[in-house]
A and B are shown apart, each in its own frame.
Chain A
Amino acid sequence: MLILGVVLVAGAVVLFILQPLIKGIHASLEREDDELTETEARKRVALLALRDVEYDFLAGKLDEEDYRSMKSRLTAEALAALEADEVARAGGGVVAADDIEAEIANLRYGLRSGFSCPACAFTNGEGSRFCSACGLSLGERVAT
């Protein structure tokens, strides 16, 4: 009886494990489409760092001078990251600098006016109540 039980359990386990091979069931090995690419991730870092400088300034942790110098530096980094991301998205093509300037300006405006999503740094249109990228309510926007 015991032996029968053991054989049955072992058989079931082996079948469970070998089934994908026998029946040809494949697990996906692809990277998901909606996953952040490396350039997107960099862009996020740069934008979030910019957001934090704004916060530190508002919280009185940075004085005007430090704030300006850090901000100009981070803006340059964000610009580079945006550019790299655009290049990656355009499949290697060069993006017109004007577009980036526009995006940065937009972002700055968003950061100041609060339309930039505090969670994912997506810049939303003026008057947005929810983030178009992640759905966060912008009415409760964050100052962290």
Chain B
Amino acid sequence: MTILGEVALWISLPIALWGMVVGYWGGRSQRGDLVLSAERSIYATFGLLIVASLGVVASFLGDRFEYWYVASYSNAELELFYKITGLWAGQRGSLLFWALLLALFATIAVFTNRKKNREFMPYVAGVLQTILAFFIIVLLFADVNPFERLDFTPANGQGLNPQLQNYWMTIHPPTLYLGFTAFSIPFAFAVASLLSGRLDARWIQLTRRWILTSWLFLSVGIVFGMRWAYEELGWGGYWFWDPVENASLLPWLTATAFLHSIQIQENRGMLKVWNMSLVVMTFLLTIFATFLTRSGLIESVHSFAQEIKIALIFLGFMGTVMALCTVLIIYRLPQLRSENQIESFFSRESAFLFNNLMLIGVAFTVMWGTMFPLISEGVTGQKISVGPPFFEMVNFPLGLILLALVGIGPVIAWRRATRKNLQKNFATPVVVGLVAGILLWISGARHELSLVTFSISAFVLTVIGTEFWKGTRTRARIEGEGYPLAFYHLITRNRRRWGGYTVHVGFVTMCIGFAGAGYNSDERYNVQPGDQVEITSPFGHTYSLTYEGLSVSLGKGQRNLLWQAIATVSVSQDGVPKGVLTTEKRQYTNRDSQPMTEVGIRSIVREDLYLILSALNDINGAVNAESDAQGIDLQVLIKPLVGFIWFGCFILAIGTVIALWPSVDRKRMAAAPHTGEQQEPALAGAAD
């Protein structure tokens, strides 16, 4: 099976190259046979990449340590589940997995458009095959072939990094990759629109669902990564402006900007060049992120030498795509002229523009901060990293403006908002925001940045809440429906608008969660069994923690585990027992590194109590079960509102799904004769 997979990967290259050539050629010469051949080549590439991926999985399942990739990321003792997910555990498999997902989406795009939107499809097939061919070339020729054999067969593999042996880590990369790859479809349609000369908003309408799908996966994927960091890295945080995190955030930022700015194009015929640029930028950033997250490049320039080939291929591809797209956009510039101009600073267009500016500002900051160590090392020979303070200093103010715009956007009028419009719609929310801030101040909240965030959040939630309320009330009045039914119909009849608002509620909820970090507390105690410590939460209640003792087990029979030390702590809140928390140190056989930490988390709606077994006083004594070696360093963190982040992401996902869901009208229209998808209220966003 593995050999078959390798052969399939080799065959997929000429197939993809063929599809690329005949796609463009068929579009240019308007030859239907060439186009059909190009489209079929996509199905074939997908099939071949499935075989190739199964080949890699088979090599993991069969413990084929003669393959470098298997030997580096697995060993005989690894659990079956992690052997299967070994496909995306390392760079090599990840690249293949990326190509596989792209081929899957390309297949869906080509299949669903086999009878419609035909003027785009030759070029769409051509562009998608270009991207696929690029990844296959990387896999085969950039020293990252997952089927590369070692000169010898090791008795066992090196095993999977224990930090990656976590539930979140198995679903986080695929989710992100789904987001990255799905964005290739809007990109392909955008380029097809440039190549075919069909430059109205059609490509945007056709790919709206793809853009949202990609955005959903990106958002959820990033939050999964945060969740993993929070649970598994054992330092109590979820975001550290790490290069790999930043790389995944970059395309999300530009995709979010794009998602908003396309509405101006649809409604007002403006920003056409900007939207084209954003779609190209986002696509390039997904490629950049893929490259960065799975290479050691950013850690040091020195690893650059080892990865020079793959780096040059990636940079070459990105540079070529950027150059070609720029030429195409310039070539089509006369047809991309704006149909309207912004009439007033106080208008929804202008709010959208600000939103774009802020998002691009954040993206630029993140990009600069991520690349700075590399640039500084390249130029001065000294690596200067910019830490979280840099990112936070620039991004927090921009983020707050963005948050405020979430509240301003929905109610400010298109074109020109009059003073009355502003007063009518903003007076109450502004008052609510201020009152919320003052009340929090009175109740003792003093962290300025968090206070501002809470205050703006209250403003935004009031705006959105009022929108929902007014919409429901109006509907109930006009249609004579009860409020629950009116609310349901309100959402289902314009899913795009109300789904969008729901996403905003999710985003605000997440911001409240982020702001909670202003009240984090972090204490460290050295404790012996029976010791009790007390910590007061910012919400006023007090936790009493009693260290019950350490239980050490030697990992006999347990896979890859040498020993495991579990500290048990009983928790009571204001004197009421709340059960027991455990936190662990684990030493794995196949890593010489430090023992890993497993944290103990107790979540309530308001906050998390987060326990870290920081250190054992006497490791050897503890492992040898000596009774006087039970002392530990216990770190106790209180993380107010952290649950709001995960819950906010959940709301955000629901909102996106509402916006994605085909509307009732659309289904009916599809059933009606002589109407097709184009009758979709593609412009129902006039209200958005």
Contact = CB atoms under 8 A, between A and B. Distances in A.
Contacts, number: 185
Contacts of B672: 134-135
Nearest to B114: A27
Nearest to A26: B32
B687 A136 contact: no
Contacts of A26: 31-33, 35-36
Interface string A54-74: 011011111101100010010
Interface string B652-688: 0000000000010100110110111011011110110
A9 to B, nearest CB: 8
Nearest to A43: B683
B683 A144 contact: no
A38 interface: yes
Interface magnitude class on chain A: 35 or more
Contacts of B475: 142-144
B123 to A, nearest CB: 11
Interface string A105-144: 0000000000000111000000000000111110011111
Contact of B36 (A5, A20, A48, A119): A20
B36 A36 contact: no
Contact of A20 (B40, B117, B663, B682): B40
Given A2-B4, A61-B425, A133 B679 contact: yes
Interface in B343-390: none
A144 B665 CA distance: 13
A58 B7 CA distance: 65
A47 to B, nearest CB: 9
Contacts of A141: 479
Contacts of B420: 63, 65-66
Contacts of A61: 411, 421, 424-425, 470
Given A34-B675, A61-B411, A29 B118 contact: yes
Contact of A34 (B36, B489, B676): B676
Nearest to B339: A42
Interface string B200-213: 11100000000000
A13 B15 contact: yes
A94 interface: no
Given A45-B266, A142-B493, A25 B33 contact: yes
B30 A29 contact: yes
Contacts of B34: 20-21
A97 to B, nearest CB: 23
B686 A142 contact: no
A96 interface: no
B3 interface: yes
Nearest to B486: A143
A140 B489 contact: yes
Contacts of B473: 59
A120 to B, nearest CB: 6
Given A5-B4, A26-B36, A66-B418, A34 B471 contact: no
Given A38-B200, A119-B681, A144-B497, A59 B39 contact: no
Nearest to A38: B200
Interface band, chain B: 35 or more
B413 A66 contact: yes
A144 B669 contact: no
B474 A55 contact: yes
Contacts of A142: 475, 489, 493-494
Contact of B668 (A21, A41, A136): A136
A133 B478 CA distance: 24
Among B31, B34, B40, which residue has the most Cβ atoms of chain A within 10 A? B40
A59 B470 contact: yes
B679 A27 contact: no
B421 A143 contact: no
A29 B119 contact: yes
A119 B18 CA distance: 43
Nearest to B681: A119
B687 A6 contact: no
A52 B686 contact: yes
B199 to A, nearest CB: 10
Given A49-B414, A60-B470, A144-B687, A17 B668 contact: no
B683 A28 contact: no
B337 interface: no
A27 B118 contact: yes
28 contacts: A13-B11, A17-B44, A20-B33, A20-B34, A25-B32, A29-B118, A31-B118, A31-B119, A32-B116, A34-B676, A34-B679, A36-B679, A44-B683, A48-B684, A49-B267, A63-B424, A66-B413, A118-B665, A119-B665, A120-B681, A133-B675, A134-B665, A134-B675, A136-B668, A136-B669, A142-B494, A143-B474, A143-B490
Closest 9 CB pairs of A and B: A26-B32, A48-B686, A20-B36, A119-B665, A135-B672, A144-B494, A27-B36, A142-B493, A52-B687
Interface of A: 2, 5-6, 9-10, 13, 16-21, 24-32, 34-36, 38, 41-42, 44-45, 48-49, 51-52, 55-56, 58-63, 65-66, 70, 73, 118-120, 133-137, 140-144
Interface of B: 3-4, 7-8, 11, 15, 18-19, 30-37, 39-41, 43-44, 47-48, 114-119, 121-122, 200-202, 266-267, 269, 411, 413-415, 418, 420-421, 424-425, 470-471, 473-475, 478-479, 489-490, 493-494, 497-498, 663, 665, 668-669, 671-672, 674-676, 678-679, 681-684, 686-687
Given A59-B474, A119-B665, A136-B669, 20 more contacts: A6-B7, A17-B19, A25-B32, A26-B31, A26-B35, A27-B118, A28-B115, A29-B32, A41-B200, A41-B201, A48-B683, A52-B686, A60-B474, A61-B421, A61-B424, A70-B413, A73-B415, A135-B671, A135-B672, A142-B475
